[in-house]
Amino acid sequence: MLIDKLWKKGKDFLGVKYPIISGGMTWISDYNLVKAVSDNGAFPVLACGNMPADILNAEIDKCINNLAGPFAVNLVTIAPNYKIHYDIVKTKDIPFVIFAGSFPSEAEIRDMKATGKRIIAFASEKVIADRLIKHGVDALILEGSEAGGHVGHVSLIVLLQQILFEFREFPIFVAGGLASGKIMAHLLLMGAWGCQLGTRFVMSDECTAHPRFKQVFLKAKSREASATPQYDSRLPVVAVRAIKNKGTEEFGKLQLKLIKELEAGEINREKAQHDVESFWVGSLRRAVIDGDVEFGSLMAGQSVGLINDIKPMKQIIEDLKNEAETELNKVKSVFNEII
């Protein structure tokens, strides 16, 4: 099959049958989803989010003891519990660590690598990619602003031109707005080592997200998944892409409240930043676990408008693979006609 030749590098790097990464989504990418992805040959990521330490320990141990293949743990650098999570992950026999949220320091990369783990990090622009490679990461994920959750400000189509085309031999995976095997085929032709999808895996039978959460996704249009704005540079906000609801409005009100408190000297910047990130941690849980789709956070990528069904994980991954192979054969036919 053509697809086997194209994604061999990514497959060998990750140690899986298919270099299709299931993104680490807080309160969604738990052991249940990780195992379903692993059992079907793709690469799973366990999301730390802001999990309590005892729960994170238990989730990691379940993955270590029950998965037949490799997996990654997703560390969110801006989570209030990040330092605790970092120390836990360092002690565990985990093959891969993915840094998300913001960018890890050189020391954090070095110390984690010293435990024998491979390090992957997100690059949201070229200067960040250059820095992360210099600091020793083993691979990058180029995540365009089309993605769900915490995102950068540059679209994937630009990142491909800025970074993917320049670093031909460095392991680079791509993410943001992806929902089909067809687009995967073209990205592999461009040089990607594999692709990461998130929203597509939310819409699997095995995902334990609340049924109301999934129903919102089924009805949503791509334009409804929008990124939160930053109101004031004194309160830096990492943009979060989610489907608009009353919770989105509440986040705007929170920013304005915190800015006023900063101006009045009632709180410092560190406290304000903590409150911003704590909002998303609690709000996302309300939506995913409790089913509060009015005030909870409905984090979703713009690919949500491309997904109109809920399927078993096995079928999702088989469809992605088969669509990619069919698309590659179409491309081959086109080249045969013009050569």
| Interval 177-219: pLDDT, tens | 999 999 999 999 999 999 999 999 999 999 999 999 999 999 9
Which residues does residue 123 pair with via DSSP β-bridges, in sequence order? 142
Instruction: Judge whether 28 lies within some domain.
Output: yes
pLDDT at 174: 98
The pLDDT of 6-12, averaged and rounded, is 97
Instruction: Judge whether 302 lies within some domain.
Output: no
Indicate whether 83 and 199 sit together in one domain: yes
Other CB atoms within 10 A of residue 264 CB = 8
Instruction: Judge whether 303 lies within some domain.
Output: no
Indicate whether 155 and 232 sit together in one domain: no
**Between vectors from CA 28 to CA 229 and to CA 251, what angle results, nearest 5°?**
25
Q: Is the pTM of this model over 0.85?
A: yes
CA atoms within 13 A on the CB side of 331: 17
Task: Inform me whether the pLDDT recorded for 60 exceeds 80.
Answer: yes
Task: Inform me whether the pLDDT recorded for 273 exceeds 90.
Answer: no
Indicate whether 139 and 64 sit together in one domain: yes
Contacts of 271 (CB under 8 A, 6+ apart): none
Residue 143's H or E segment, with its range, is strand 139-143
Instruction: Judge whether 137 lies within some domain.
Output: yes
pLDDT at 282: 81
Confidence of residue 314 (pLDDT cuts 50, 70, 90): very high
Number of domains composing the chain: 2
Indicate whether 42 and 105 sit together in one domain: yes
Task: Inform me whether the pLDDT recorded for 232 exceeds 90.
Answer: no
Instruction: Judge whether 323 lies within some domain.
Output: yes
- Please count the helices (runs of H) and the strands (runs of E) in the chain: 14, 11
Q: Which domain holds residue 142?
A: 2-209+308-338
CA atoms of 31 and 10, how far apart (whole Å): 23
